[in-house]
Chains A and B, each alone.
Chain A
Amino acid sequence: MDSYKIKVLEGICLVVTILLTHVLLSVPSALITQTASSTLLNIVYVAIITLIFFFIIYKLFSLFPGNNIIDISGFLGGKVFKFIYGFIYIIYILGMSAIIIRLFSEGISLISLSHINVTFIILTFVVAVGITNYFGLKSISRLNIFILPIMILSIIFLYFASTGEYTFERIFPILGYGAKETFVDGISNIFAYSGIYVLFFLFPLLTRVSDFKKIGISSILIYTVLLLLSVSALLFSIPQVAETSSPLSLYILARQINLGEYIQNIDAFFLLIWIPFLFEYLSINMHFALSTFKQLTNTKYSKGMIYCFCAIIFVLSLLSNNMAEINMLNNSFYKYTSIVFVFIIGIIILVSASIKKLIQNLTKRGTQNNA
């Protein structure tokens, strides 16, 4: 798209934005459904695994300086494999964006815009995302530096403002459904970190290789703290048996905040923060979909594809007929596809490419020695 190089702070904000959007939607309630009272313990456990995962990919990426995952897949399997893998990545990003946009639109339609057809709400998001992407990564990233801190403050505020409704004992029984369910089956909760796929694309956008490590560790830690705050607020406020099917998990907390006699029903204020944050999320996603497309096709002017991708997101988001279908799609597509695509296939490609490179280097060295 453009040759703009991002700084450490911009990188952290980009990654945290992608990770945090799912917290705004269904991730906290999905985590609590899976591990109940042991969710906080499970999050710490999953965060440690994610950090280990990150250190592995950092080491592997270091072998391919200046390359992203698409370049590395090309090195591993040639042009055809690169095209297939890149194409699937674009579908994954667009599909995830479509689900998120639909969930969020359904949420705000349910809460405050009940008189507006959800199609128009989705259309507004899509058009705005299209326009933002026209200005490129620089404007998306700079704007994100302003929006993300407000979003983070809103989560911290939500946590502390809800304390009056907390039943801290809901953290017990400490092992939830059991040790196996928390630490073995509960590993599937790593899907909450699948937003780190952005790191796969970040390497060529950085000025220094060491920035990658800083961005990765900082964003994972910041996100973990925010995830713990969001999940604990929800866990302490609502009985575990009462599973929430709300498209906006954090809204459940926002609506119960009462600050004295005069400040009540301030949920609309949170929507005001969350809407631009979602714009940012969609814009970043769209940017990486477009840059991947450009990389695959070697198109010089890929901005024309913005309209096409916007239309795809719009149509995909309208495919589901009702909330049950969207929730089902969200649970299956986002959760399981993310685990397989980001964590399993991602690491397989990186490890295989590293082995290939190692073999190439050894062969090269052997040839040089023979010569």
Chain B
Amino acid sequence: MLKKITYIIAIIIFCATVFSSYLNEQDIDDSAYVIALGIDDGTDDNSIELTIQIAIPSENGSSSSSASSEESSSSSSEKGSSDTLIKTIECKSIDSGLDSANSIISKKINLSHCKFIVFSEKIASKGISDYIYTLENNVELRSNCNILVSSNDAKEFLESPNPVLENSTSKYYEIITTNNKYAGYTVPATLNTVYSSMYDTFGEACTMLGEVENSDDNEKNIILGGIAVFKEDKLVGTLSADETIPYLIITNKLEESEMSIVSPFSDNKSMDFHLSLSSKTRTNVSIQEPAPHITTSVSLLATIVSSSADFDSSSHEDINKIEQALADHIKNQITNYYEKTAKEFKADIAELGRHAVYNFPTINDWKSYNWLDKYETATFEVNVDVDLESSYFIS
């Protein structure tokens, strides 16, 4: 018995000595938690401008904000973003930039709470696969970190958040990325999904699109809306917020959204609808020569949220007219989306290759068919079925 106890004590002492960090003590106060990274083009061809946005702990907020003001842009410090410190470093790679940041600030950079990685359009059009690969291999960085392309410089984008209804910029970042759940104006694009799409053979990658909005009173804020479309790893174009809804419908990612159409009863009036998928969108890819044929069948549930009282909601004829008008509008939107992504961008960001791959028995057959290039020649057929429900209390 004594022998066993001696062994157990010996194991505990040994493990405690080896695994405890008494030689490398590192606690929460020693780390600087990055909430967003921005990547811009550098001054020369091989360099980048890495912008690091670091959260300032609330208890230190008042003292640190003054320290940060010299580094933060004047606009961000004026607008109450003093809970973050922004550093911009010219460097050759992300890792070397983070290393440089470690030497500049007093704490060790930690990426485990990073919410956003922002690429400027300029650097995105040169290709981002190297950065995505580097970030995906970073142990600290979470795979659900959001990827965004900014129409402005990434640095300016990170300096511009003006969270009026939130106390912290970090929380603000968390919330604005979820607006696709109720608005449908942006796409869920995380490090994991972008990495997968970029290396998969089923389609191309896409990310959120954001920009800095200048209000009339010269206040800045950021807005997210639209999709940044990539071909291989290069930005080839963007889709607007309205064009995002067809993408979400096709990929079954639409949770709910609002849509406005011209009233079928009066050309100068509009009707607003609340949309959701009533069943999953079915896509069928028929491998034909010379081009694949894609058939998409959409089933939507629509609720009227605002309209003039110039129709009879108890009339089947009127309801059918509205359903048909809405279905035609959505069909046009989806067709336009297909035309734009196939003919203009030549990029299948909805990953329709997933529905085509069944037709090929081996990888060689699939690769030689070359779906990613065939997509631009594809023909499309869209069927939209809308079930209308009225949400009016008074009709």
Partner-B contacts on A (CB < 8 A): 36-37, 110-111, 113, 115-116, 120-121, 123-124, 127-128, 131, 134, 165, 167, 169-170, 172-179, 237-239, 241-242, 255-256, 258, 264-265
Contacts and interface: CB of A to CB of B under 8 A. Distances in A.
B24 A167 contact: no
Residue from the set B10, B142, B143, B201 with the largest chain A CB neighbour count within 10 Å: B143
Nearest to B365: A173
Contact of B143 (A111, A173, A242, A256): A256
Lowest 10 A-B CB distances belong to which pairs?
A239-B199, A115-B24, A169-B354, A256-B143, A172-B357, A239-B200, A242-B199, A173-B360, A178-B362, A120-B18
B144 A115 contact: no
Contacts of A174: 361
Contacts, number: 87
29 contacts: A37-B363, A110-B139, A115-B21, A115-B26, A124-B19, A127-B14, A128-B11, A131-B7, A131-B10, A134-B7, A167-B196, A169-B202, A169-B357, A169-B358, A172-B357, A172-B360, A173-B363, A173-B366, A178-B362, A179-B362, A239-B195, A239-B199, A239-B201, A255-B139, A256-B192, A258-B143, A258-B144, A264-B144, A265-B112
Contacts of A123: 18
Contacts of B355: 169
Contact of B200 (A124, A167, A255): A167
B202 A176 contact: no
A237 B192 CA distance: 9
Contact of B357 (A116, A173, A238): A173
B196 A238 contact: yes
Nearest to B193: A165
A359 B366 CA distance: 56
B5 interface: no
A36 B363 contact: yes
B15 interface: yes
Interface of B: 7, 10-11, 14-15, 18-19, 21, 23-24, 26, 112, 139, 142-144, 192, 195-196, 199-202, 354-355, 357-358, 360-366
A176 B282 CA distance: 25
Contact of B358 (A172, A237, A258): A172
Given A113-B19, A123-B18, A177 B142 contact: no
A248 to B, nearest CB: 11
A173 B199 contact: no
Contacts of A242: 195, 199
Contacts of A176: 362-363
**Most A CB within 10 A of own CB, among B7, B139, B201, B360:** B139
B231 to A, nearest CB: 17
Contacts of A110: 139
A37 B361 CA distance: 10
B362 A116 contact: no
Contact of B196 (A127, A134, A239, A255): A239
Given A124-B14, A178-B364, 12 more contacts: A36-B363, A115-B21, A115-B26, A127-B11, A128-B11, A169-B355, A172-B357, A172-B360, A172-B366, A173-B365, A176-B362, A258-B143
A116 B15 CA distance: 12
Residue of B357, B361, B362 contacting most chain A CB atoms (<10 Å)? B362
A177 B366 CA distance: 10
B79 to A, nearest CB: 27
